[in-house]
Structure 1
Amino acid sequence: MTLNIPAALWDRQYAADLLRRYWSSRPDGTPAYTGSHFERLGGGGDRREVRNRFTAEDFIAVATLSVTLPARAALQVLAPHDPHHYTRLLTAIPAEIELADADEEHVAEDSPAWTLWRALREVHGIGPVGAGKLLARKRPRLLPVHDAVVKKVFARPTSDLTFWSDVRTQLRNDKGALVSHLEETRNLSEIGNGISVLRVLDVTAWMHGKELGH
Protein backbone atom coordinates (compact mmCIF):
# COMPACT_ATOMS: atom_id res chain seq x y z
CA MET A 1 0.00 0.00 0.00
CA THR A 2 1.31 3.46 -0.86
CA LEU A 3 1.87 6.25 1.63
CA ASN A 4 -0.44 9.10 0.62
CA ILE A 5 1.58 12.20 1.53
CA PRO A 6 -0.52 15.39 1.19
CA ALA A 7 0.78 17.99 -1.26
CA ALA A 8 1.05 20.53 1.58
CA LEU A 9 3.79 18.48 3.24
CA TRP A 10 5.91 18.69 0.08
CA ASP A 11 5.93 22.48 0.56
CA ARG A 12 9.27 22.84 2.30
CA GLN A 13 8.60 26.27 3.80
CA TYR A 14 5.26 25.16 5.23
CA ALA A 15 6.69 21.90 6.61
CA ALA A 16 9.70 23.70 8.13
CA ASP A 17 7.36 26.15 9.84
CA LEU A 18 5.43 23.23 11.35
CA LEU A 19 8.72 21.88 12.77
CA ARG A 20 9.77 25.26 14.16
CA ARG A 21 6.43 25.61 15.91
CA TYR A 22 6.63 22.10 17.33
CA TRP A 23 10.12 22.69 18.71
CA SER A 24 9.40 26.20 19.98
CA SER A 25 9.08 27.26 23.62
CA ARG A 26 6.45 29.13 25.57
CA PRO A 27 7.26 32.44 27.28
CA ASP A 28 7.91 30.57 30.55
CA GLY A 29 10.54 28.41 28.86
CA THR A 30 8.50 25.20 28.74
CA PRO A 31 8.11 23.45 25.38
CA ALA A 32 5.17 24.38 23.16
CA TYR A 33 4.76 20.64 22.56
CA THR A 34 6.13 18.15 25.08
CA GLY A 35 6.70 15.65 22.26
CA SER A 36 9.62 17.78 21.11
CA HIS A 37 11.58 16.01 23.88
CA PHE A 38 10.62 12.50 22.76
CA GLU A 39 13.84 11.59 20.97
CA ARG A 40 16.33 13.65 22.98
CA LEU A 41 15.09 13.05 26.53
CA GLY A 42 17.92 11.72 28.68
CA GLY A 43 20.24 11.59 25.69
CA GLY A 44 17.96 9.34 23.63
CA GLY A 45 16.62 5.82 23.99
CA ASP A 46 19.09 4.47 21.45
CA ARG A 47 22.28 5.66 23.13
CA ARG A 48 24.75 2.82 23.44
CA GLU A 49 24.43 2.14 27.17
CA VAL A 50 20.63 1.70 27.13
CA ARG A 51 19.72 0.82 23.54
CA ASN A 52 19.01 -2.82 24.35
CA ARG A 53 16.96 -2.34 27.51
CA PHE A 54 13.94 -0.28 28.44
CA THR A 55 14.33 2.45 31.06
CA ALA A 56 12.02 4.72 33.03
CA GLU A 57 13.10 7.52 30.69
CA ASP A 58 11.55 5.65 27.77
CA PHE A 59 8.17 5.63 29.50
CA ILE A 60 8.45 9.34 30.30
CA ALA A 61 9.38 9.98 26.66
CA VAL A 62 6.27 8.13 25.49
CA ALA A 63 4.22 10.23 27.91
CA THR A 64 5.44 13.37 26.10
CA LEU A 65 3.47 12.05 23.11
CA SER A 66 0.27 12.02 25.16
CA VAL A 67 0.36 8.28 25.82
CA THR A 68 0.45 7.62 29.55
CA LEU A 69 1.16 3.98 30.24
CA PRO A 70 0.01 2.55 33.60
CA ALA A 71 2.66 2.19 36.31
CA ARG A 72 1.94 -1.53 36.58
CA ALA A 73 2.59 -1.97 32.85
CA ALA A 74 5.84 0.01 33.10
CA LEU A 75 7.01 -2.10 36.02
CA GLN A 76 6.18 -5.28 34.13
CA VAL A 77 8.44 -4.16 31.27
CA LEU A 78 11.19 -2.67 33.44
CA ALA A 79 11.38 -5.69 35.78
CA PRO A 80 10.01 -8.71 33.87
CA HIS A 81 10.05 -12.23 35.26
CA ASP A 82 12.69 -13.03 32.66
CA PRO A 83 15.14 -10.09 32.91
CA HIS A 84 16.65 -10.92 29.52
CA HIS A 85 13.37 -11.25 27.60
CA TYR A 86 13.10 -7.73 26.14
CA THR A 87 16.87 -7.35 25.93
CA ARG A 88 17.12 -10.36 23.64
CA LEU A 89 14.47 -8.91 21.35
CA LEU A 90 15.94 -5.39 21.33
CA THR A 91 19.41 -6.74 20.64
CA ALA A 92 18.08 -8.42 17.50
CA ILE A 93 16.81 -5.08 16.12
CA PRO A 94 19.58 -3.00 14.44
CA ALA A 95 20.23 0.23 16.31
CA GLU A 96 22.25 2.16 13.74
CA ILE A 97 20.39 1.54 10.50
CA GLU A 98 18.09 4.02 8.76
CA LEU A 99 14.72 2.72 7.60
CA ALA A 100 15.51 3.78 4.04
CA ASP A 101 18.62 1.57 4.10
CA ALA A 102 17.01 -1.36 5.92
CA ASP A 103 16.05 -4.64 4.33
CA GLU A 104 12.40 -5.63 4.26
CA GLU A 105 13.22 -8.38 6.75
CA HIS A 106 13.91 -5.71 9.38
CA VAL A 107 10.27 -4.58 9.39
CA ALA A 108 8.42 -7.65 8.09
CA GLU A 109 5.78 -9.38 10.21
CA ASP A 110 8.21 -12.09 11.26
CA SER A 111 10.97 -9.64 12.21
CA PRO A 112 12.32 -9.14 15.76
CA ALA A 113 10.73 -5.66 15.74
CA TRP A 114 7.29 -7.17 15.12
CA THR A 115 7.89 -9.85 17.73
CA LEU A 116 8.74 -7.19 20.30
CA TRP A 117 5.78 -5.03 19.27
CA ARG A 118 3.46 -7.98 19.85
CA ALA A 119 5.10 -8.78 23.18
CA LEU A 120 4.68 -5.19 24.40
CA ARG A 121 1.08 -4.82 23.24
CA GLU A 122 0.20 -7.94 25.21
CA VAL A 123 1.17 -6.14 28.43
CA HIS A 124 -2.08 -4.93 29.96
CA GLY A 125 -2.39 -1.16 29.53
CA ILE A 126 0.17 -0.67 26.75
CA GLY A 127 -1.71 -1.57 23.57
CA PRO A 128 -0.60 -1.19 19.95
CA VAL A 129 0.02 2.58 19.94
CA GLY A 130 1.99 2.56 23.20
CA ALA A 131 4.03 -0.40 22.01
CA GLY A 132 4.80 1.33 18.72
CA LYS A 133 5.95 4.51 20.45
CA LEU A 134 8.18 2.58 22.83
CA LEU A 135 9.81 0.94 19.82
CA ALA A 136 10.20 4.30 18.05
CA ARG A 137 11.95 5.60 21.16
CA LYS A 138 14.45 2.71 21.12
CA ARG A 139 14.98 2.71 17.33
CA PRO A 140 14.15 6.26 16.14
CA ARG A 141 15.90 5.87 12.78
CA LEU A 142 14.33 2.53 11.92
CA LEU A 143 10.79 2.54 13.34
CA PRO A 144 8.45 5.53 12.81
CA VAL A 145 5.88 6.88 15.25
CA HIS A 146 2.35 5.96 14.22
CA ASP A 147 -0.87 7.22 15.79
CA ALA A 148 -4.45 8.10 14.87
CA VAL A 149 -3.64 11.59 13.54
CA VAL A 150 -0.76 10.40 11.37
CA LYS A 151 -2.96 7.56 10.13
CA LYS A 152 -5.64 10.03 8.97
CA VAL A 153 -3.16 12.36 7.28
CA PHE A 154 -1.62 9.51 5.30
CA ALA A 155 -5.03 7.95 4.58
CA ARG A 156 -4.10 4.67 6.21
CA PRO A 157 -6.60 1.86 6.90
CA THR A 158 -8.09 1.38 10.35
CA SER A 159 -6.16 -1.85 10.83
CA ASP A 160 -2.75 -0.81 9.57
CA LEU A 161 -0.20 -3.61 9.70
CA THR A 162 2.05 -2.51 6.85
CA PHE A 163 2.92 1.04 7.93
CA TRP A 164 6.62 0.38 8.64
CA SER A 165 7.05 -1.42 5.35
CA ASP A 166 5.15 1.20 3.36
CA VAL A 167 7.15 4.06 4.87
CA ARG A 168 10.33 2.18 3.95
CA THR A 169 9.13 1.81 0.36
CA GLN A 170 8.24 5.51 0.14
CA LEU A 171 11.65 6.54 1.48
CA ARG A 172 13.36 4.41 -1.18
CA ASN A 173 11.21 5.52 -4.12
CA ASP A 174 12.44 8.02 -6.72
CA LYS A 175 16.07 7.66 -5.65
CA GLY A 176 15.32 8.77 -2.11
CA ALA A 177 13.41 11.94 -3.00
CA LEU A 178 11.42 11.88 0.24
CA VAL A 179 14.56 11.42 2.35
CA SER A 180 16.18 14.42 0.64
CA HIS A 181 13.04 16.48 1.15
CA LEU A 182 12.86 15.61 4.85
CA GLU A 183 16.55 16.36 5.38
CA GLU A 184 16.29 19.71 3.60
CA THR A 185 13.14 20.57 5.55
CA ARG A 186 14.95 19.73 8.81
CA ASN A 187 17.88 21.93 7.80
CA LEU A 188 15.58 24.79 6.89
CA SER A 189 13.75 24.55 10.22
CA GLU A 190 17.06 24.58 12.18
CA ILE A 191 15.81 22.07 14.75
CA GLY A 192 19.09 20.16 14.57
CA ASN A 193 20.34 17.08 12.74
CA GLY A 194 19.89 14.98 15.87
CA ILE A 195 16.21 14.63 14.97
CA SER A 196 15.66 11.65 12.67
CA VAL A 197 14.05 12.00 9.26
CA LEU A 198 11.32 9.65 10.49
CA ARG A 199 10.51 12.08 13.27
CA VAL A 200 10.43 14.94 10.77
CA LEU A 201 7.91 12.95 8.72
CA ASP A 202 5.83 12.10 11.78
CA VAL A 203 5.79 15.60 13.29
CA THR A 204 4.97 17.43 10.07
CA ALA A 205 2.14 14.97 9.42
CA TRP A 206 0.84 15.28 12.98
CA MET A 207 0.97 19.09 13.00
CA HIS A 208 -0.71 19.23 9.59
CA GLY A 209 -3.39 16.85 10.84
CA LYS A 210 -4.04 19.02 13.87
CA GLU A 211 -4.46 22.06 11.62
CA LEU A 212 -7.07 20.07 9.69
CA GLY A 213 -8.88 19.27 12.92
CA HIS A 214 -7.97 15.59 13.14
Structure 2
Amino acid sequence: MSRKGFPEVEQQYIDHAREQALIALTSADTPQRLRRHYCVDTDFAGSSFTRITPNTSDAITTADLLATTMLSASVPAHSTRLLLDDKSTRKTVRRLLDALPDRRLEDAKAKHYRPMSDVYDFLKEILGRAGAADPNPWVTASKLAARKRPDLFPVRDAAVRGLLRVSELRDYGKDWRVFRTLMRDHDVSDALDTTIGALKSLETDCRVKADKERLRILDAALWAHATDLDPAPCVDHDSDS
Protein backbone atom coordinates (compact mmCIF):
# COMPACT_ATOMS: atom_id res chain seq x y z
CA MET A 1 0.00 0.00 0.00
CA SER A 2 1.41 3.37 -1.03
CA ARG A 3 1.72 5.98 1.69
CA LYS A 4 2.14 9.72 1.45
CA GLY A 5 4.19 10.01 4.62
CA PHE A 6 5.41 8.36 7.79
CA PRO A 7 2.57 6.28 9.28
CA GLU A 8 0.96 7.30 12.54
CA VAL A 9 1.95 5.40 15.69
CA GLU A 10 -0.18 5.01 18.80
CA GLN A 11 0.96 7.31 21.59
CA GLN A 12 1.53 4.42 24.00
CA TYR A 13 4.34 3.15 21.78
CA ILE A 14 5.88 6.60 21.47
CA ASP A 15 5.76 7.08 25.24
CA HIS A 16 7.29 3.67 25.93
CA ALA A 17 10.07 4.18 23.39
CA ARG A 18 10.87 7.60 24.84
CA GLU A 19 10.97 6.20 28.37
CA GLN A 20 13.30 3.37 27.38
CA ALA A 21 15.54 5.68 25.37
CA LEU A 22 15.94 8.01 28.34
CA ILE A 23 16.65 5.10 30.67
CA ALA A 24 19.32 3.80 28.31
CA LEU A 25 20.93 7.19 27.70
CA THR A 26 21.01 8.20 31.36
CA SER A 27 22.37 4.88 32.60
CA ALA A 28 25.80 5.30 34.20
CA ASP A 29 26.99 2.23 32.26
CA THR A 30 26.06 3.50 28.80
CA PRO A 31 29.21 5.55 28.03
CA GLN A 32 31.38 2.60 29.11
CA ARG A 33 29.30 0.21 27.04
CA LEU A 34 29.64 2.47 24.01
CA ARG A 35 33.38 2.72 24.60
CA ARG A 36 33.57 -1.05 24.38
CA HIS A 37 31.30 -1.17 21.32
CA TYR A 38 33.44 1.39 19.48
CA CYS A 39 36.86 0.20 20.66
CA VAL A 40 38.94 -0.99 17.69
CA ASP A 41 40.63 -3.64 19.84
CA THR A 42 37.42 -5.60 20.39
CA ASP A 43 35.45 -7.80 18.02
CA PHE A 44 32.46 -5.45 17.97
CA ALA A 45 31.49 -3.81 14.69
CA GLY A 46 30.89 -0.30 16.02
CA SER A 47 34.17 1.23 14.88
CA SER A 48 33.90 -0.25 11.38
CA PHE A 49 30.26 -0.34 10.24
CA THR A 50 30.17 3.16 8.75
CA ARG A 51 33.94 3.56 8.29
CA ILE A 52 34.88 0.69 5.99
CA THR A 53 35.71 2.21 2.62
CA PRO A 54 34.67 2.79 -0.03
CA ASN A 55 31.18 3.96 0.88
CA THR A 56 29.97 5.69 -2.24
CA SER A 57 26.60 7.39 -1.99
CA ASP A 58 25.07 5.96 -5.17
CA ALA A 59 26.19 2.31 -5.27
CA ILE A 60 26.38 -0.85 -3.21
CA THR A 61 29.87 -2.33 -3.12
CA THR A 62 31.67 -5.26 -1.54
CA ALA A 63 32.63 -2.92 1.32
CA ASP A 64 28.94 -2.28 2.03
CA LEU A 65 28.16 -5.98 2.10
CA LEU A 66 31.13 -6.68 4.37
CA ALA A 67 30.06 -3.93 6.77
CA THR A 68 26.52 -5.29 6.81
CA THR A 69 27.63 -8.82 7.63
CA MET A 70 29.62 -7.44 10.57
CA LEU A 71 26.25 -6.72 12.20
CA SER A 72 25.45 -10.45 12.14
CA ALA A 73 23.38 -10.15 8.97
CA SER A 74 23.66 -12.62 6.12
CA VAL A 75 23.86 -11.65 2.46
CA PRO A 76 22.88 -14.61 0.24
CA ALA A 77 25.16 -15.52 -2.65
CA HIS A 78 22.49 -14.88 -5.29
CA SER A 79 21.71 -11.48 -3.81
CA THR A 80 25.41 -10.64 -3.71
CA ARG A 81 25.77 -11.38 -7.42
CA LEU A 82 22.73 -9.27 -8.24
CA LEU A 83 23.88 -6.30 -6.18
CA LEU A 84 27.48 -6.38 -7.41
CA ASP A 85 27.34 -7.77 -10.95
CA ASP A 86 23.85 -7.39 -12.43
CA LYS A 87 23.68 -4.21 -14.51
CA SER A 88 19.92 -3.78 -14.18
CA THR A 89 20.03 -4.19 -10.40
CA ARG A 90 22.94 -1.78 -10.05
CA LYS A 91 21.17 0.77 -12.22
CA THR A 92 18.06 0.56 -10.05
CA VAL A 93 20.13 0.85 -6.87
CA ARG A 94 21.81 3.98 -8.22
CA ARG A 95 18.47 5.56 -9.13
CA LEU A 96 16.92 4.79 -5.74
CA LEU A 97 19.92 5.94 -3.72
CA ASP A 98 20.14 9.16 -5.72
CA ALA A 99 16.48 9.86 -4.87
CA LEU A 100 17.08 9.73 -1.10
CA PRO A 101 16.98 13.06 0.74
CA ASP A 102 20.27 14.55 1.86
CA ARG A 103 19.16 15.00 5.44
CA ARG A 104 18.98 13.37 8.84
CA LEU A 105 16.01 11.28 9.94
CA GLU A 106 14.89 13.94 12.42
CA ASP A 107 14.71 16.43 9.54
CA ALA A 108 12.85 14.10 7.18
CA LYS A 109 9.41 15.24 6.05
CA ALA A 110 6.39 13.34 4.78
CA LYS A 111 7.57 13.59 1.16
CA HIS A 112 10.81 11.80 2.04
CA TYR A 113 9.08 8.64 3.25
CA ARG A 114 8.44 7.31 -0.25
CA PRO A 115 12.07 7.34 -1.48
CA MET A 116 13.15 5.79 1.82
CA SER A 117 10.62 3.00 1.52
CA ASP A 118 11.52 2.49 -2.15
CA VAL A 119 15.13 1.76 -1.16
CA TYR A 120 14.17 -0.55 1.69
CA ASP A 121 11.54 -2.45 -0.32
CA PHE A 122 13.90 -3.00 -3.25
CA LEU A 123 16.72 -4.24 -1.04
CA LYS A 124 14.36 -6.54 0.81
CA GLU A 125 13.08 -7.94 -2.49
CA ILE A 126 16.61 -8.57 -3.78
CA LEU A 127 17.67 -10.20 -0.52
CA GLY A 128 14.56 -12.37 -0.41
CA ARG A 129 14.66 -13.74 -3.95
CA ALA A 130 13.51 -17.33 -4.35
CA GLY A 131 16.26 -19.70 -3.31
CA ALA A 132 18.05 -17.15 -1.13
CA ALA A 133 19.35 -18.53 2.13
CA ASP A 134 18.29 -15.51 4.22
CA PRO A 135 14.96 -16.31 5.96
CA ASN A 136 14.62 -12.73 7.24
CA PRO A 137 15.55 -10.39 4.39
CA TRP A 138 14.13 -7.38 6.27
CA VAL A 139 16.97 -7.69 8.80
CA THR A 140 19.69 -7.41 6.17
CA ALA A 141 17.78 -4.80 4.17
CA SER A 142 17.51 -2.55 7.22
CA LYS A 143 21.20 -2.86 8.07
CA LEU A 144 22.30 -2.34 4.47
CA ALA A 145 20.11 0.77 4.20
CA ALA A 146 21.61 2.04 7.46
CA ARG A 147 25.09 1.48 6.06
CA LYS A 148 24.29 3.59 2.98
CA ARG A 149 22.60 6.40 4.93
CA PRO A 150 23.54 6.05 8.62
CA ASP A 151 21.90 9.32 9.65
CA LEU A 152 18.62 8.49 7.89
CA PHE A 153 17.90 4.78 8.44
CA PRO A 154 17.94 3.10 11.87
CA VAL A 155 19.45 -0.40 11.95
CA ARG A 156 16.25 -1.94 13.42
CA ASP A 157 18.15 -4.54 15.44
CA ALA A 158 15.87 -7.14 17.03
CA ALA A 159 17.08 -6.37 20.56
CA VAL A 160 16.41 -2.65 20.12
CA ARG A 161 13.01 -3.25 18.56
CA GLY A 162 12.13 -5.45 21.52
CA LEU A 163 13.31 -2.85 24.02
CA LEU A 164 11.22 -0.14 22.37
CA ARG A 165 8.32 -2.55 21.72
CA VAL A 166 8.14 -1.46 18.08
CA SER A 167 8.40 -5.13 17.12
CA GLU A 168 4.72 -5.30 18.07
CA LEU A 169 3.91 -2.81 15.30
CA ARG A 170 5.24 -5.09 12.54
CA ASP A 171 5.77 -2.12 10.24
CA TYR A 172 9.12 -0.66 9.20
CA GLY A 173 7.52 2.70 8.51
CA LYS A 174 6.25 2.89 12.08
CA ASP A 175 9.72 1.94 13.33
CA TRP A 176 11.11 4.91 11.40
CA ARG A 177 8.39 7.16 12.78
CA VAL A 178 9.28 6.17 16.35
CA PHE A 179 12.99 6.79 15.77
CA ARG A 180 12.28 10.11 14.09
CA THR A 181 10.17 11.15 17.08
CA LEU A 182 12.96 10.15 19.47
CA MET A 183 15.53 12.13 17.51
CA ARG A 184 13.27 15.18 17.62
CA ASP A 185 12.57 14.93 21.35
CA HIS A 186 14.39 17.63 23.34
CA ASP A 187 14.99 15.47 26.41
CA VAL A 188 16.28 12.56 24.35
CA SER A 189 18.49 14.94 22.35
CA ASP A 190 19.94 16.46 25.52
CA ALA A 191 20.58 13.02 27.02
CA LEU A 192 22.23 11.95 23.76
CA ASP A 193 24.49 15.01 23.87
CA THR A 194 25.50 14.13 27.42
CA THR A 195 26.21 10.52 26.43
CA ILE A 196 28.33 11.59 23.46
CA GLY A 197 30.30 13.96 25.68
CA ALA A 198 30.87 11.23 28.27
CA LEU A 199 32.01 8.82 25.55
CA LYS A 200 34.52 11.35 24.26
CA SER A 201 35.97 11.72 27.75
CA LEU A 202 36.64 7.97 27.80
CA GLU A 203 38.38 7.81 24.43
CA THR A 204 41.80 8.15 26.06
CA ASP A 205 41.26 4.83 27.85
CA CYS A 206 41.38 2.81 24.65
CA ARG A 207 41.31 3.29 20.90
CA VAL A 208 37.75 4.40 20.21
CA LYS A 209 36.30 5.30 16.82
CA ALA A 210 32.71 6.30 17.40
CA ASP A 211 30.16 7.07 14.72
CA LYS A 212 29.68 10.71 13.76
CA GLU A 213 25.95 10.32 13.12
CA ARG A 214 23.72 10.96 16.13
CA LEU A 215 21.19 8.35 14.97
CA ARG A 216 23.91 5.72 14.98
CA ILE A 217 25.00 6.68 18.51
CA LEU A 218 21.40 6.45 19.73
CA ASP A 219 20.97 3.09 17.99
CA ALA A 220 24.20 1.79 19.52
CA ALA A 221 23.30 3.05 23.00
CA LEU A 222 19.92 1.33 22.84
CA TRP A 223 21.51 -1.90 21.60
CA ALA A 224 24.21 -1.85 24.29
CA HIS A 225 21.56 -1.29 26.96
CA ALA A 226 19.16 -3.90 25.58
CA THR A 227 21.88 -6.57 25.36
CA ASP A 228 23.47 -5.62 28.70
CA LEU A 229 26.85 -5.17 27.03
CA ASP A 230 29.80 -5.55 29.39
CA PRO A 231 30.89 -2.00 30.34
CA ALA A 232 34.40 -3.07 31.37
CA PRO A 233 37.28 -1.33 29.57
CA CYS A 234 38.31 -3.42 26.58
CA VAL A 235 41.94 -3.77 27.74
CA ASP A 236 40.99 -4.99 31.22
CA HIS A 237 38.34 -7.33 29.87
CA ASP A 238 40.43 -8.82 27.08
CA SER A 239 43.46 -9.39 29.32
CA ASP A 240 41.45 -11.93 31.31
CA SER A 241 40.84 -14.16 28.31
Q: TM-score range by the shorter chain?
A: 0.7 to 0.9
Quick one: percent identity of the two aligned structures?
A: 28
In structure 2, the partner of 1:9 is 24
1:68-121 residue CA offsets vs partner (Å, 9 max, x unmatched): 2122211111223414111000000024x1111221322x3xx11101111111
In structure 2, the partner of 1:171 is 183
Higher helix share: 2
Match of 1:157 among 167, 173, 181: 167
CA distance in structure 1 between the aligned counterparts of 2:210 and 2:193, rounded to whole angstroms: 8
Match of 1:143 among 121, 146, 153: 153
1:169-192 residue CA offsets vs partner (Å, 9 max, x unmatched): 22223xx33233223312211256
- 1:56-135 to 2 correspondence within 5 Å? 56-82=62-88, 83-95=90-102, 97-106=103-112, 108=113, 111-123=114-126, 124=129, 125=132, 127-135=137-145
Give the TM-score of the pair, scaled to structure 2. 0.74
CA distance in structure 2 between the aligned counterparts of 1:178 and 1:137, rounded to whole angstroms: 23
State the AA in 1 paired with 2:75. Answer: L
**Partner SS, residue 182 of structure 2:** helix
CA distance in structure 1 between the aligned counterparts of 2:44 and 2:108, rounded to whole angstroms: 30
Q: Which has the larger radius of gyration?
A: 2
Answering whether residue 33 of structure 2 is matched by residue 18 of structure 1, we say yes
* C-alpha displacement of 1:143: 1.0
Q: What runs of 5+ residues in structure 1 fail to find an aligned partner?
A: none
* Larger RCO, structure (CA 8 Å, separation 6 or more): 2
* C-alpha displacement of 1:195: 2.6
State the AA in 2 paired with 1:209. Answer: A
Give the TM-score of the pair, scaled to structure 1. 0.82
Q: After TM superposition, what 4+ stretches of structure 1 lie above 3 angstroms from structure 2?
A: 191-194
CA distance in structure 1 between the aligned counterparts of 2:215 and 2:80, rounded to whole angstroms: 25
From the superposition, tell whether residues 170 and 36 of structure 1 become closer, same or farther in structure 2 (CA, over 3 Å).
same
From the superposition, tell whether residues 169 and 60 of structure 1 become closer, same or farther in structure 2 (CA, over 3 Å).
same
- Contact in 1 for aligned 2:106/2:184 (Cα 8 Å): yes
Q: What runs of 5+ residues in structure 2 fail to find an aligned partner?
A: 1-8, 201-207, 230-241
Aligned-residue Cα RMSD (Å) equals 2.1
The number of residues matched between the two structures is: 197
